[in-house]
């Protein structure tokens, strides 16, 4: 069945979208900051995977172990050093600040890697999985599974670990959390660091499937936005649901209207949701 194949493609894409959006959603929900650098973090992660494979012979699933702590540290420093200074400022300031930082990062990336497209090519190729009439390349299946695992890990950290509970507490009520002895500034840094680590890891996974280019950062950022709004802000299950919905809608939309309208479709969906259901599919209202 043709539709079944498209549904499968949509699911694979959706899991990756969930992974892209989970960290973004965390930062937006907890810090009330839209991190416009998220897309650039993702592309940086892809470059890391590329360099690790071509330079050191490390497969992407191994590179994840390098990317996660690296991006975590980078995100933590960025939040502590720069973003915490304006955390209470109006939306315009935080948004413009991350835009400025993104311009710098992206420019540095362009200088370092040039605008050429690169592709991480696994040798030997992993082959293709045949499930009846449906064909899926194994590297995609692997990326999908790892994306789900990472997203699940973030969810577990938020549910079970001490720092995770503190992050959720700060999101629910910052003042109450402060009164309970939570160091809010340090929790902000941790939340941002988790967001950055998720972005970096998502980038590593995306490198297994898509070509790498500094110019892709805007598109990834756009996906993260749309997924957050679809699923509901600041919750990991919301990001997963939103990611899957977007992946499937895009796959079927590309078939129905042609792939060139995929962006219009997803942004149209975004505006519809913003207006009629700003809390998302399973989000709660009341977080600006």
Partner 1 sequence: MNRRRDAILIGAVLLLAAAPWLGGAYALRLGTFACMYAVMAVSWNVIGGLAGYPSFGTAAFFGLGAYAGGVLLSKGGGLIAALLLSGGLAFAGALLLGAVLLRLKGHYFAVASLAVAEVLRELANSATDLTGGGMGLNIPLATLGGAGPLAEARFFFLAMWALLVLTLVVVVAVERSRLGFGLACIRQNEAAADMIGVDTTLYKSLAFALSGVFVAMAGTLYAGWAHYIEPPDVFDVLYSVKPIVMALLGGLGSTTGAVLGAFAFLAIEETVWRNSLQIHSGLLGLLVVVLLLFLPQGIVSIGRVSKAWVTRRA
CB of 2 or CB of 276, closer to partner 1: 276
What residues line the site for partner 1 (CB under 8 A)?
28, 32, 34, 82, 85-86, 89-93, 95-97, 99-108, 111, 218, 222, 225, 229, 260-261, 263-264, 267-268, 270-271, 274-275, 278, 288
Which residue in 39, 65, 30 sits closest to 149, CA to CA? 65
Nearer to partner 1 by Cβ, of 77 and 141: the residue is 77
Residue 248 CB, nearest distance to partner 1 (Å)? 20
Outline where DSSP puts E strands in 74-190: 128-131, 134-137
- Tell me the closest approach of the beta carbon of residue 134 to partner 1, in angstroms: 30
Residue 133 or 259: the one with the smaller Cβ distance to partner 1 is 259
Decide whether 63 or 189 has the Cβ nearer to partner 1: 189
Rounded Cα distance, 83 and 77, in Å = 9
Question: Among residues 22, 242, 29, 7, which one has the least CA distance to residue 147?
Answer: 22
Contact 229, 280 (CB under 8 A): yes
Least Å from the CB of residue 138 to partner 1 = 33
The C-alpha atoms of residue 276 and residue 263 are separated, in whole angstroms, by 20
Contacts of residue 224, defined as CB under 8 A and 6 or more positions apart, other chains included, come to: 20, 21, 24, 25, 38, 39
Nearest-5° Cα angle at 50, 45 to 56:
115
* CB of residue 268 to partner 1, shortest distance in Å: 7
Least Cβ distance, residue 76 to partner 1 (angstroms) = 18
With respect to partner 1, which residue has the nearer C-beta, 121 or 272? 272
Per the CB < 8 A criterion, the answer to whether 236 and 158 are in contact is: yes
């Amino acid at each position: 069945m043709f539709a079944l194949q498209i549904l499968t493609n949509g699911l694979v894409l959706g899991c990756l979208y969930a992974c892209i959006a989970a960290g973004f959603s965390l930062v937006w929900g907890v810090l009330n900051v839209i991190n416009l650098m998220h897309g650039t973090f993702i592309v940086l992660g892809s470059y890391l995977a590329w360099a690790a494979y071509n330079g050191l012979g490390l497969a992407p699933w191994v590179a994840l172990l390098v990317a996660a702590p690296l991006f975590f540290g980078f995100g933590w420093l960025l939040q502590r050093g720069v973003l915490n200074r304006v955390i209470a400022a109006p939306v315009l300031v935080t948004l413009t600040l991350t835009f400025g930082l993104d311009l710098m990062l992206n420019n540095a990336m362009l200088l370092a890697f040039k605008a050429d497209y690169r592709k991480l090519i696994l040798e030997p190729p992993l082959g293709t999985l045949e499930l009846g009439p449906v064909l899926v390349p194994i590297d995609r299946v692997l990326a999908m599974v790892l994306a789900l695992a990472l997203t699940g890990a973030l969810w577990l950290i938020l549910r079970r670990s001490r720092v995770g509970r503190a992050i959720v507490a700060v999101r629910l009520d910052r003042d109450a959390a402060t009164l309970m002895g939570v160091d809010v500034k340090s929790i902000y840094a941790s939340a941002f660091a988790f967001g950055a680590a998720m972005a970096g890891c998502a980038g590593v996974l995306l490198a297994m499937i898509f070509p790498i280019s500094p110019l892709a950062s805007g598109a990834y950022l756009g996906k993260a936005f749309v997924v957050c709004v679809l699923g509901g802000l600041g919750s990991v299950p919301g990001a997963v649901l939103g990611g899957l919905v977007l992946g499937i809608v895009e796959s079927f939309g590309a078939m129905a209207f042609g792939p060139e309208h995929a962006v219009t479709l997803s942004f149209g969906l975004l505006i519809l949701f913003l207006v009629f259901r700003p809390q998302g599919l399973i989000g709660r209202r009341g977080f600006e």
